[in-house]
Amino acid sequence: QNEIYLAGLGDVLPGFPTDLTKLEDAARDVLSARAFGYVAGSAGSERTARFNREAFDRWRIVPRLLRDVSVRDLSVEVFGQRMPAPVLLAPLGVQSILHADGERATARAAAALGLTSVLSTASSTALEDVAEAAGTGPRWYQLYWPKSRELAASLVARAEAAGYQALVVTLDTFTLAWRPRDLDGAYLPFLRAVGVQNYFSDPVFQAMVGGPVTDANRDAALLTWVGQFGNPALTWDDLAWLRERWSGPIVLKGVQHPDDARRAAAAGMDGVVVSNHGGRQVDGAVASLDALPVVAEAVGDRLTVLFDSGIRTGSDVIKALALGARAVLVGRPFAYGLALGGEAGVRHVLRSLLADLDLTLALAGLTGPGDLGPDTLVRA
Ligand code: FNR
């Protein structure tokens, strides 16, 4: 608290709001309309992104008094690893659209705070280069399962060799949704400028496009990438193939239904992320926070339940944990931080979120995630 109120937050960047709900407006001023639309946009009418936020308002924290909260500990254990706070950085593709330092800046900011960053398969930087930027920082890898099994196997093997500790398999995006802002922004030429180096650097991908990606075959490479990107034919049976290829924890991202969570447990998975991709896939889908307690109830004793979609404040983190999540992933806020100030911008966003979480937790009469449960909240 002394650090926050006497010394200030530090790293305060010009035009950089401490209120993370105002980041979107600040980022709009520094990004091109296309780049801004890529981050801010959601599926269809964008109502599910709105539902995600509104769902937090239906739960209210009930503060408790006189409980000695002078010593607090935000840390949680996930897959046997102690995380300093219950917050991870969600996988976000092609971050070079937002800042020249892209995924490297994000990895460095996360590592500086000991937070786990999840790298997207659709990274504009090769996963090995991001691992180098992260140094000893904890890192997970997110798989978009391509159509070619050979390519999937190569991506996964590279991630394991580069020291990524867990595999997050995103299942809600086997094809991109109807996203009006991306469609208006003519997505493909836009991607041409930054490239999708994580695919372009892959040996199996290069074999598909006849060698290393150069200016001469760049358009063909982009089309190959689009063709490979998602695999709508996947079924639960395919998970056994993946389970054999990854020795660490596997987490399924995009789970919204308790039966899917139960099937994940039956398939030998280690965790789920209750997520609707920040409202970017199924327009009109249930708010992610509304899906959380049902999933936690179904599998919380067998799987690690993580949550994302709509986290903006410390109180949001508290609500998600009270409703059954072990930890949360945050998406757009750090993307806006990256756009506004590169590595320092991401660090500012993360530090602000953690400081807000620490203060709000204490003022609610709680000393750490272990104190959180159903009696922390009432339904409004
Ligand atoms: C995403 N998301 C995402 N998810 C994923 O598994 N792989 C990816 O490459 C991406 N890319 C991506 C880009 C952008 C710009 C956004 C905003 C989101 C979804 C992301 O991991 C996460 O589920 C949501 O961002 C969480 O919602 P909030 O925090 O943005 O509301």
**Residue with the nearest Cα to atom 24 of ligand 1?**
278
> Which amino acid would we find at residue 298?
A
Mutate to test the pocket of ligand 1, among 38, 53, 92 (most ligand atoms within 8 A of CB): 92
Which is higher by pLDDT, 230 or 4?
230
pLDDT digits (tens, 9 = 90+) for 256-277: 999 999 999 999 999 999 999 9
Question: Is any atom of ligand 1 closer than 6 Å to the C-beta of 120?
Answer: yes
**pTM, full prediction:** 0.97
Q: What is the pLDDT of residue 121?
A: 98
Q: What is the pLDDT of residue 1?
A: 56
Question: Is any atom of ligand 1 closer than 6 Å to the C-beta of 181?
Answer: no
Q: Band of the pLDDT at 189, cuts 50, 70, 90?
A: confident
> Which amino acid would we find at residue 177?
A
Instruction: State the Cα–Cα distance between residues 155 and 159, nearest whole angstrom.
Output: 6
pLDDT digits (tens, 9 = 90+) for 146-165: 999 999 999 999 999 999 99
User: H/E element holding 77?
Assistant: strand 76-78
pLDDT digits (tens, 9 = 90+) for 346-379: 999 999 999 999 999 999 999 999 999 989 999 9
Q: What is the pLDDT of residue 360?
A: 97
In degrees, rounded to 5, the angle at the alpha carbon of residue 63 between the alpha carbons of residues 57 and 69 is 130
Q: What is the pLDDT of residue 192?
A: 85
Q: Residue 217 CB: number of other CB atoms within 10 A? A: 16
Question: Is any atom of ligand 1 closer than 6 Å to the C-beta of 172?
Answer: no
The pLDDT of 190-208, averaged and rounded, is 93
Q: Band of the pLDDT at 203, cuts 50, 70, 90?
A: very high
Q: Band of the pLDDT at 101, cuts 50, 70, 90?
A: very high
